[in-house]
Chain A
Amino acid sequence: MSPHVMQAKARFLFIVAALGLTLGCNLLAPSGSRRSEDAALLLMLASHSLIEASVAEAPSASRGPGLSGARAAGGIAAGPRRNEARMMAEWYHALAERLPEDDEVRQGYLDKADDYYDQAKALDEERERAERRRHRGFFRWFGRQVKNFGEGLGRVVGGVMGFAGAVVEYVVEEELPARIRAAIKGEWERIKAIAQGKIEMFWQRLATRYGDVFTAYLRDRVDPLFIRLRDRVTGRTRRVSRRLTLTAQALNPAEATATSTQKPVAPPTHTQPPTPGQLLSKTGTVVPVGLDPGLRATSNKISITFQDDGRGVVRGSGVYAAIYMWEECHKELPTSTRWELTGTYDPATKRFGGTMQEYGQGQIAYTNCSVGDVPEYTRGQGGTWEAALENGVIKGSMTLIQGGGTPILRVTFEAR
């Protein structure tokens, strides 16, 4: 090829690249709404899903035992890239399902989930379109021409991007997974001269994170962010106390006494304010509203541990066990309900909030009056809890959510 022709080609490709960048810049017009939490989370999900897809496509020889093991265990999904918008939709949906039906944020989350489902559908269609485009001969050829524009022009484009001296190389879609793998660990491989027999912690993290536990991972990771968002949007922290007061008033004191053989609750006493940063543990009893109290309660206890400066995760556990009478067979059957609580504490407002899981176990009587054991099982779809600290006493309530989002049990408690 003559120098003249090469120069012409170079000029042509430079114009193509420069115009491409110009258009790219125009598309990136600033927008305030793109500074939301969701946008940042979508970026995180996009990064994770691209890495996951690149790992899934890795040839077995380059995976190393860690990655092979993770894939063999089913931790890392093979196949196409996940739809990040759908993940957000499912996430919002799951969050809404965990809220009581009268929660003012619940509908907002459901609406958001619907929006993300629509977005996910549009994204699926776009990715299918792009895939079809890639498989067409001309378009594939064209993409490769753009990619192969040479190092000289790559340096020019690098300069345009603000990296004078760097080389920009366009990557066709098929090469992307290998490029991502190379980008992530290329430097590490070079420095430490690793080849085979190495295990990358990140792949193990992926194995733990993704697959069946993916949503649970994300939920745990960013739940505080959502709780914070919800509180900010609704001013919930200011309302929690009012709701708790109303809940307490709505409770029938006579029923509360009849439903349990719990120890009488002592009147609140003034306690010395704890030293900042102190780890506190408070224990008390629960009042299961709407639950058959049984013949007699054999255990009724709840404990909550928190740091009084609001740091760390608040943890709690509770149990209500009772003996029930199975009338048809005249048998007494033990049954127990157990709760695990996690959440946060805001020392400024002295409010708690978080999620809880309820477990049940016990014995049942069959139609022939034989008795069988029911091993511990998870009830409903988890739930929420909230409480307030007043005069050293934590007063609060837990709500279990069943499928479809209906609250099925409200339990109030006091711990001192």
Chain B
Amino acid sequence: MDRRLLPRLLLAAFVGFIAPLAIAVLLVLGYGLQVSATMPKTVSAIPAETAGPDAWQLSSDQERALSENGHPESFAILFYDEEGEDGSLENVRYETWSYYTRGLEMTFINGELETQTALDRFSAKPGSLSCRPEQFAPYMDLAEVVRAAGLSSFTMTPLEDQLLPGGETYFADRLTFGLIDGELRYIETLPTVEEG
């Protein structure tokens, strides 16, 4: 075989076979990563880790609520920034504690009692929560939330860019929470109660 022919054959093989194959693989990879990034995921069998110290120091208002009413039967916390009077951004912790058996809901802003409203009472006592509000702090990352709540599994759903770019919602045992850009921005417990 003519030795000068070999490079030409290799070039022909590259152009005719390897290059199209590589392009096809890249296209498949590109589509695969696009699909996988937008797909919900379930993460299970998370090894148990000891939760660290509480991430939030309860305020005197919250301590009082705790001593008067006990731990909330459900809570929801929103974390966000708001502009202070000097133009700087302040972290805000907007917290709602619900006591269904007492028919009471309390809202705290950065630990300060803001409102106290009546709730429809439930005669049955909800099951105890596996986590407490003080275990969560603004802008925790996913691993910190999982550790604080002692989760062994969760299901995550990425939100559409048209709705909230970088937003993800999570569902776990009696718990739902949301991260934006990997930071905790919302968490709410889902109380359950047994009937009969």
A binds B: yes
Q: Known: A28-B182, A47-B169, A200-B193. Contact between A17 and B82, CB under 8 A?
A: no
Q: Known: A146-B32, A170-B39, A200-B192. Contact between A122 and B162, CB under 8 A?
A: yes
Chain B contacts for A35, CB-based, 8 A: 80-81, 89, 180, 183, 185
Digit string of A197-220 for contact with B (CB within 8 Å is 1, else 0)? 111111011001000000000001
Q: Known: A20-B32, A184-B176. Contact between A126 and B41, CB under 8 A?
A: no
Within 8 A of A (CB), among B110-129: 113-117, 120, 122, 124, 126-127
In the docked arrangement, what's the CA distance between A20 and B79, Å?
Answer: 28
Residue of A nearest to B165 (CB): A27
B109 touches A44 (CB 8 A): no
Question: A183 contacts which of B31, B42, B191 (Cβ < 8 Å)?
Answer: B42
Q: Known: A183-B173, A344-B115. Contact between A197 and B196, CB under 8 A?
A: yes
Query: Within the complex, what minimum Cβ distance (angstroms) separates B21 from chain A?
Result: 13
Query: Within the complex, what minimum Cβ distance (angstroms) separates B71 from chain A?
Result: 15
Looking at chain A's contact residues, is the secondary structure mostly helix, strand, loop, or mixed?
helix
Size of the A side of the interface (Cβ < 8 Å), in residues, is 91
Q: With an 8 A cutoff between CB atoms, is B86 at the interface?
A: no
In the docked arrangement, what's the CA distance between A259 and B185, Å?
Answer: 53
Chain B contacts for A220, CB-based, 8 A: 117
In the docked arrangement, what's the CA distance between A17 and B45, Å?
Answer: 19
Within 8 A of A (CB), among B61-93: 76, 78-83, 89, 92
Chain B contacts for A224, CB-based, 8 A: 107, 109, 114-115
Chain A contacts for B58, CB-based, 8 A: none
Q: Known: A47-B169, A162-B142, A185-B174. Contact between A40 and B47, CB under 8 A?
A: no
A143 touches B185 (CB 8 A): no
Digit string of B9-49 for contact with A (CB within 8 Å is 1, else 0)? 00000000000000000000101111111011111111100
Within 8 A of B (CB), among A84-137: 84-85, 119, 122-123, 125-127, 130
A202 touches B164 (CB 8 A): no
Chain A contacts for B42, CB-based, 8 A: 168-169, 171, 179, 183
Chain B contacts for A329, CB-based, 8 A: none
Within 8 A of B (CB), among A45-101: 46-47, 50-51, 65-66, 84-85
Q: With an 8 A cutoff between CB atoms, is B133 at the interface?
A: no
Question: A313 contacts which of B115, B177, B186 (Cβ < 8 Å)?
Answer: B115
Q: Known: A165-B46, A171-B41, A188-B173. Contact between A225 and B94, CB under 8 A?
A: yes
In the docked arrangement, what's the CA distance between A66 and B193, Å?
Answer: 10
In the docked arrangement, what's the CA distance between A170 and B34, Å?
Answer: 13
B181 touches A28 (CB 8 A): yes
Chain A contacts for B164, CB-based, 8 A: 34, 39, 42-43, 46
Query: Within the complex, what minimum Cβ distance (angstroms) separates A79 from chain B?
Result: 18
Q: With an 8 A cutoff between CB atoms, is B100 at the interface?
A: yes
Chain B contacts for A204, CB-based, 8 A: 122
Question: B180 contacts which of A43, A146, A165, A186 (Cβ < 8 Å)?
Answer: A43
In the docked arrangement, what's the CA distance between A164 and B146, Å?
Answer: 13
Q: With an 8 A cutoff between CB atoms, is A311 at the interface?
A: yes
Query: Within the complex, what minimum Cβ distance (angstroms) separates B49 from chain A?
Result: 10
In the docked arrangement, what's the CA distance between A28 and B179, Å?
Answer: 10
Question: A146 contacts which of B36, B92, B160, B172 (Cβ < 8 Å)?
Answer: B36
A169 touches B44 (CB 8 A): yes
Question: B46 contacts which of A39, A126, A166, A229 (Cβ < 8 Å)?
Answer: A166
Q: Known: A16-B29, A29-B181, A123-B160. Contact between A165 and B83, CB under 8 A?
A: no
Q: With an 8 A cutoff between CB atoms, is A275 at the interface?
A: no
Most-contacted residue by chain A among B40, B109, B142, B194 (CB, 10 A)? B40
B166 touches A184 (CB 8 A): no
B39 touches A185 (CB 8 A): no
Query: Within the complex, what minimum Cβ distance (angstroms) separates B169 from chain A?
Result: 5
Q: Known: A30-B181, A50-B171, A185-B192. Contact between A23 and B33, CB under 8 A?
A: yes
In the docked arrangement, what's the CA distance between A21 and B90, Å?
Answer: 31
Digit string of A3-14 for contact with B (CB within 8 Å is 1, else 0)? 000000000000
Chain A contacts for B163, CB-based, 8 A: 42, 46, 84-85, 119, 123
Within 8 A of A (CB), among B90-105: 92, 94, 96, 100
Most-contacted residue by chain B among A15, A84, A187, A208 (CB, 10 A)? A187
A44 touches B193 (CB 8 A): no
Query: Within the complex, what minimum Cβ distance (angstroms) separates A135 from chain B?
Result: 15
Question: B169 contacts which of A24, A46, A161 (Cβ < 8 Å)?
Answer: A46
Give 20 A-B pairs besides A35-B185, A51-B171 with Cβ atoms closer than 8 angstroms: A15-B29, A27-B166, A29-B166, A34-B164, A34-B165, A40-B180, A44-B78, A46-B178, A47-B171, A146-B39, A166-B44, A166-B47, A169-B43, A179-B155, A179-B171, A200-B190, A201-B124, A201-B192, A201-B193, A344-B115
Which B residues contact A (CB, under 8 angstroms)? Answer: 29, 31-37, 39-47, 76, 78-83, 89, 92, 94, 96, 100, 107, 109, 113-117, 120, 122, 124, 126-127, 130, 142-143, 146, 152-155, 157-167, 169, 171-183, 185-186, 188, 190-196
